[in-house]
Amino acid sequence: MKIFNLSLQRTGTQSFHKLMSTKVNSLHYVDNDFLQYTKTESELWEYYRNTYIESDYIAFSDFPVPIFLDNLFSEFKNSKFIFFTRPKEDWVRSIKIHKDKSIANFMNNSIDDIFYKKYINKSFIELKEDDFCNAYDLYHLDIEKYKDNILMLNLNDSPKFISRRISNYVGIKFDINYPSFDYFKSI
């Protein structure tokens, strides 16, 4: 069984990874270095699937997972899918700070670019507040197509509640509550 956190970055992906890592081999984000091996979204999917999903990793979160929503539901139907949401205005505020603090990492092609070009045809460093709002809305519409097969969680729920819901859904008993881990403490 594979477990995919379909959430956008800045929506608890690191906390999910920390929780899952207590019991299974978990992968959070993939370094942009692997983009050198791929040129198209289909090549990126093939590389990610063959290199990471078909390895000993069980849980996956953050980019490029959201890029492959349709592929995941098509090829990994028996997996567990989890989606965290948070209010759009909170997410936009957080992602803008993330962008400002990380701008040096996004000067060239990045995994983030692939996602944002897919949804709003702009690279990450070009994005303004309205663009982030549009990307959020469009991605949430795509999530709606699969909502009957996804454990939907609100990032603002209590850590104990989140842990219990994830535990019941994936069949793993966690010894800790959903951790509140934030790479950028100020966000």
Confidence of residue 183 (pLDDT cuts 50, 70, 90): very low
Q: What is the pLDDT of residues 113-125, one digit of tens each?
A: 889 999 999 988 8
Residue 43 CB contacts under 8 Å (≥ 6 apart), including other chains: 37
Phi/psi of residue 152, nearest 5 degrees: -95, 125
pTM to 2 decimal places: 0.92
Place of tokens 């959903």: 178
107 in Cβ contact with 35 (< 8 Å): no
- Taking each continuous run of H as one helix and of E as one strand, the counts in the chain are 7, 5
CA-CA distance, 59 to 174, in Å (whole number)? Answer: 14
CA-CA distance, 113 to 33, in Å (whole number)? Answer: 14
On average, the pLDDT of the chain sits at 89
pLDDT value, residue 103: 63
Closest CA to 59 of 158, 174, 141, 136: 174
Structure tokens that stand for 82 in this block? 């989890």
Domains of the chain with bracketed CATH: 3-170 (3.40.50.300)
**Residue with the larger pLDDT of the pair 32 and 137:** 137
Q: What is the pLDDT of residues 24-39, one digit of tens each?
A: 999 998 876 777 766 7
CA-CA distance, 8 to 85, in Å (whole number)? Answer: 8
